[in-house]
Every structure is written in structure tokens, then in C-alpha cells.
């Protein structure tokens, strides 16, 4: 039986984590190892300069789980390096409340955990539901994620990283599944300056939520059309289209 490592970035008591655990147990043995608090928008942070603690706990349904004071990537690294009795065959990260599309991937702790799995040679899936409501129905997303995980395991590939986003609409209203590329977001961040009681300035990064460009073939476009988005990712960040141009700059060592 396959060993599936389940983690997230919203913390051990996230309802999305519980829904995914209950769905994933139908396809393999599930080991839950998640942060002890919310790490949303933490990105691919890996703890190297302070101790990491690991403790046992239980989910709301009584199933066993492990927690750590580290982040999502730490959960995967610790599990692979020996906290679990054997390396997992698959990493499932989620279910995140809120879509992880376009440039959001650079901030996402959900995706960071899946990336850490891929770095370790383990096929991985990041799962998100396009709703910011923590009480949303995660059932449809969880069932589709479990089915997709089963297909990944059957493929036998270890170089797979899939970013899954499910629209927050009833299952029977979903218009299908689309294999997509990353889309684009426009961010409207603003700097909010305030003063503490001693008159010292402090700052919040605020502003309205980002808006997506619903281009055909993108993750943003698929969600806007009511379709599930499955985006294959890889670790090669090379801007290949720039290689020839940079070579034409004839860069030389400056003495």
C-alpha cells in the first residue's frame, strides 16, 4: 500500500486538511504532518537556524497526526529525512481555502510543500479550493484530489508536480477539467502607515484582493469558466527565451 504524506499551510486544524485526509485514505495509508499554526503566504521557507519540534496530536475525527513548529516545507523535509518510518510515495498539500494560481505560487505555502516533495524525488500535488470561506464544502475538491493522486501513483513517475485548483461551486455545476498553464494576476497592494501609542510608525501591506486575467488555457481562465484547473509545474526557472539575447551582450570579466 502506498504511503501518502498529507500536509498544508493553514495548520493542523484546517477543515480542508481533514477533508483531504478522509478522501485520501481510500487510496493508501495516510500520514498527516502539518504545521501547528497558519503559515499562509510564507512561501518556500525552510527552517535551518533554530530547532524544530515534533509532537503527536489528533484531527477532529480522532485520526492520528504529527505537528511541528516549522512550516509546510519543513513538514515534508522532516518526514522524508526520517520522522516517518519510510519516505512517502506521494505528497498531498492542502486543501487550501483560496485559489493558488498565477503569480500566487511564489507566495504559497501550499505549493511550497509540494515543491519540497518534488525536490526530494516524490510526486506531489498542491490542492486549493477557490473560496476564502473556511467553512466551505471541501468534499468535491477532496474527492477529485484523491482520484488525481491515484492516477499519479499509477503512473509510476517521480517527476510530477501538479497544482490543482477547484472552483467553489457544487460538484454537479463544475463544467469539467482543464489542463492549464499559469495565468496572470494584477496586484493592487497599498502601503498603510499607522502609529503606535508611542508615536512610532508601523506599516501594513494592504489593498484590494488581486484580480485575474481569465485567458483561455490558463488556471485563472479555467476557474472563471467553472472548470477544475490542473497545472503541471517544474523546477526549471530558466527564462530560456532570454538565453540568446544575453549571449549577444558579449559579457566579459571586468578587471
Residue pLDDT, tens place only, 173-205: 999 999 999 999 888 899 999 999 999 999 999
Kindly give the parts of the chain with pLDDT less than 50.
none
CATH number at residue 31: 3.40.1210.10
The total number of structural domains that make up the chain: 1
The pTM (predicted TM-score) of the whole model is: 0.94
- The answer to whether residue 129 sits within a structural domain is yes
What is the Rg, in whole angstroms, of the alpha carbon atoms belonging to the chain? 20
* Residues paired with residue 207 on neighbouring β-strands, in sequence order: 189
- The answer to whether residue 252 sits within a structural domain is no
Could you give the C-alpha distances from 113 to 18, 70, 217, 228, 237, in angstroms and in order?
Answer: 17, 12, 25, 21, 17
Give the span between the Cα atoms of 20 and 142, in whole angstroms.
5
- The answer to whether residue 110 sits within a structural domain is yes
- The answer to whether residue 92 sits within a structural domain is yes
Could you give the strand order of the β-sheet that contains 228-232, starting from the edge strand earlier in sequence?
A: 54-58, 64-68, 29-35, 3-7, 90-97, 124-130, 161-167, 228-232, 177-179
Q: What is the pLDDT of residue 209?
A: 83
Give the span between the Cα atoms of 227 and 169, in whole angstroms.
10
Other C-beta atoms closer than 10 Å to the C-beta of 183 total 24
Q: What is the pLDDT of residue 212?
A: 87
- Domain assignment of residue 222, given as a range: 3-184+212-247
pLDDT in tens, 136-163: 899 999 999 999 999 999 999 999 999 9
Strand runs labelled E in the chain: 3-7, 29-35, 54-58, 64-68, 90-97, 124-130, 161-167, 177-179, 184-195, 201-213, 228-232
- The answer to whether residue 204 sits within a structural domain is no
- The answer to whether residue 199 sits within a structural domain is no
Q: What is the pLDDT of residue 25?
A: 95
Q: What is the pLDDT of residue 132?
A: 80
- The answer to whether residue 191 sits within a structural domain is no
- The answer to whether residue 253 sits within a structural domain is no
**In angstroms, how far apart are the furthest CA atoms of the chain?**
67
Report the Cα 41 to chain-centroid distance in Å: 10
Amino acid at each position: 500500500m502506498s504511503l501518502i504524506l498529507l500536509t498544508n499551510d493553514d495548520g493542523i486544524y484546517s477543515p480542508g486538511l481533514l477533508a483531504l485526509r478522509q478522501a485520501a485514505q481510500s487510496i493508501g495509508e495516510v500520514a498527516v504532518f502539518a504545521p501547528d499554526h497558519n503559515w499562509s503566504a510564507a512561501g518556500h521557507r525552510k527552517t535551518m537556524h533554530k530547532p524544530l519540534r515534533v509532537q503527536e496530536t489528533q484531527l477532529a475525527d480522532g485520526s492520528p497526526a504529527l505537528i511541528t513548529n516549522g512550516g509546510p516545507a519543513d513538514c515534508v523535509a522532516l518526514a522524508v529525512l526520517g520522522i516517518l518510518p519510510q519516505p512517502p510515495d506521494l505528497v498531498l498539500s492542502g486543501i487550501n481555502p483560496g485559489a493558488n494560481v498565477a503569480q500566487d505560487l511564489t507566495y504559497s505555502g501550499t505549493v511550497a510543500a509540494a515543491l519540497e516533495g518534488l525536490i526530494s524525488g516524490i510526486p506531489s500535488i498542491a490542492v486549493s479550493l477557490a473560496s476564502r470561506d473556511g467553512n466551505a464544502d471541501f468534499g468535491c475538491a477532496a474527492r477529485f484530489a484523491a482520484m488525481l493522486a491515484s492516477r499519479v501513483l499509477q503512473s509510476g513517475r517521480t517527476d510530477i508536480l501538479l497544482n490543482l485548483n477547484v472552483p467553489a461551486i457544487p460538484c454537479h455545476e463544475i463544467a469539467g477539467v482543464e489542463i492549464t498553464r499559469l495565468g496572470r494576476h494584477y496586484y493592487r497592494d497599498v502601503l498603510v502607515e499607522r502609529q503606535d501609542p508611542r508615536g512610532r510608525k508601523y506599516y501594513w501591506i494592504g489593498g484590494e484582493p488581486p484580480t485575474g486575467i481569465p485567458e483561455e488555457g490558463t488556471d485563472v481562465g479555467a476557474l472563471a469558466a467553472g472548470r477544475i484547473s490542473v497545472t503541471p509545474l517544474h523546477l526549471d526557472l530558466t527564462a530560456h527565451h532570454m538565453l540568446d539575447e544575453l549571449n549577444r551582450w558579449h559579457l566579459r570579466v571586468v578587471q
